[in-house]
Amino acid sequence: MAQKPNIIQQIFNAISVPIGGVFQKGNAKNNLNRSIMPAQLARLRHDIGMWRVAVAEAEQGYYPHRVKMQTMFIDTVLNGHVAACIERRKDLTMLRDFEVYNPDETENEDLEELFESEWFSLLVSYSLDALFYGYSLIALNDIIDSSFPYLTLVKRWHISPDRNEVTRFVYAQNGNKFLEDPYKNWHIWVKTPSDTGQSDCGYGLLYKVALYEIFLRNTLGYNGDFVELYSQPYRIGKTTKTNEDERALLEQALQNMGSSGYAVIDPQDEIQFLETALGGTGWKGYENLEQRCEQKISKLILGHSDALDSVPGKLGAGTGEENPVAVSLMDKQTKDGKFIENMVNGQLIPKLRSLGFAIPEGVVFKYKNSGEEDENRQSMVDYATKLSSVAVNLKNAGLGMDEQFFTQETGIPVYVNMTVMPSMDANTNKFDKKRQNKLDNLYK
């Protein structure tokens, strides 16, 4: 007698086929999103204790999970300052131009055209998110017209980076191996290195950011309570009325004193607004803590505390190779660029080749270093300007600079323009305009 499937399996089989908006429109059988049971994510209230519990859960000796950690992260990125820092960090890479080179160092224009598409930009965006969340598993989904229009992200709280599995339910002990067939060619696994060696995958920048974001979130709440208690005047109504209906009218007038509020009272009634001196300076403590937390978050994500809020022209702001803000952003851009290059060259291109794309061996994806080229060019210009100033000083002193040396040092070819050569006095080595005029009259 055949064994009947259990009720959970029956439910899963009933909803495994994408219906309506439950899953992405792509119906690729190898899409691991199809294996996840749809369920509402529990949003938890986070504090420093929960922050510790999250890492404790991720560091369990047997069956570690990232559920609480990822649940914490999706609330962390709701903070406006954190979201702005992440967007700025990602823009440093997303806005860069790239090239694809053949083995003979010629440009592969066909592959460049393939990568100049919306799905590739989304792939890069999801890959950069791994820097913050610790990892990203990207489902390529269906191939339509040599493109992946339904590319999507697999829910991180269903992913076990320690076991390389995607589970049907959160906290499940086993799942589908995404690095094995039939899933491996249809998914891009992007992870970060571990700082402690506890796991094969890092926790991401948001684990460090979350500590300061929790303080920042609580500070905003405390500040709101402070404004409500001390910054707004306390309303006091005094009346000699004994009738409850009449007293209720005065109480209602006090309650409704918002925009353009008013009250009609008897001569014996009185309305006072009691203010506290704390409302004048007490808010500074909240502002100070908020700024310090935001600076720490900017430093963690962008490399400098003023990288997001600096104003060009102010001390420590603007551009230039010696500017600390510009140097920090350039370092992050270079680091993240190499991160994406390794993902594309090490995973995407080989997987595309396995899926039937005609991509020759030895093709290399690389970002253009236009910023470095501009800096080198500006450095050469600055050096040439300084060397020209030295040449002028030598000339005024009666000396000269070798033309070949100047060209060799600066790369700028020079020649003597006889049409603009001034007449020089032999004794003073200075131009004598009066003597030149006499010579001009003599040869008329």
Tens-place pLDDT, residues 297-307: 999 999 998 88
**What does the DSSP 8-state code read for residue 137?**
E
The predicted structure's pLDDT at residue 227? 67
pTM: predicted TM-score of the whole model, two decimal places: 0.71
Q: Which pair of tokens denotes residue 383?
A: 């050096």
pLDDT of residue 373: 55
Q: Please state, for a pLDDT cut of 70, what percent of the chain lies above it.
A: 70
Calpha distance 163→63 (Å, rounded): 8
Distance separating alpha carbons of residues 92 and 80, to the nearest angstrom: 19
CB 61 within 8 A of CB 334: no
Where exactly are the structural domains of the chain? 1-223+287-368, 371-442
Mean pLDDT for 6-20 is: 42
Separation between Cα atoms, residue 230 and residue 113, nearest integer Å = 61
Q: What is the pLDDT of residues 236-271, one digit of tens each?
A: 677 777 788 777 777 777 777 765 565 656 667 776
Query: Which range among 57-66, 337-346, 415-424 has the greatest average pLDDT?
Result: 337-346
Q: Which residue has the higher pLDDT, 370 or 100?
A: 100
Pick 375 or 238 by higher pLDDT.
Answer: 238
What confidence score (pLDDT) does residue 405 get?
A: 74
- The pLDDT value recorded for residue 351 is 94
How far lies 45's CA from each of 55, 68, 76, in Å? 16, 11, 11
Are 198 and 211 contacting, i.e. CB atoms less than 8 angstroms apart? no
230: confidence class by pLDDT, cuts 50, 70, 90: low
Q: Write the DSSP symbol of residue 425.
A: -
Tens-place pLDDT, residues 93-104: 999 999 999 998
CA distance 127 to 209: 19
Are 269 and 238 contacting, i.e. CB atoms less than 8 angstroms apart? yes
Position of tokens 């005024």?
396
Over residues 277-301, mean pLDDT = 78
Cα separation, 31 vs 36, in Å, equals 10
Q: Place 370 in a pLDDT band, splitting at 50, 70 and 90.
A: low
Distance between CA atoms of 58 and 367, rounded to whole angstroms? 35
Q: Which of 100-114, 201-215, 319-333 has the lowest mean pLDDT?
A: 319-333
Structure tokens at 410: 């600066």
Q: Does pLDDT of 339 surpass 80?
A: yes
Helices (DSSP H) in 116-153: which residue ranges? Answer: 118-133
Using a pLDDT cut of 90, give the percent of the chain over it. 44
Residue range 216-227, pLDDT digits in tens = 888 877 776 676
Tokens standing for 255? 């309650």
Distance between CA 181 and CA 166 in Å, rounded? Answer: 14
Residue type, 442: L
Helix, strand, coil abundance in the chain, percent, nearest 5: 50, 10, 40
Mean pLDDT of the chain: 79
Identify the top-confidence range among 34-48, 246-260, 348-362. 348-362
Q: Which residue has the tokens 């310090």?
A: 292
176 pLDDT higher than 80: yes
Give me the pLDDT at residue 41, please: 80
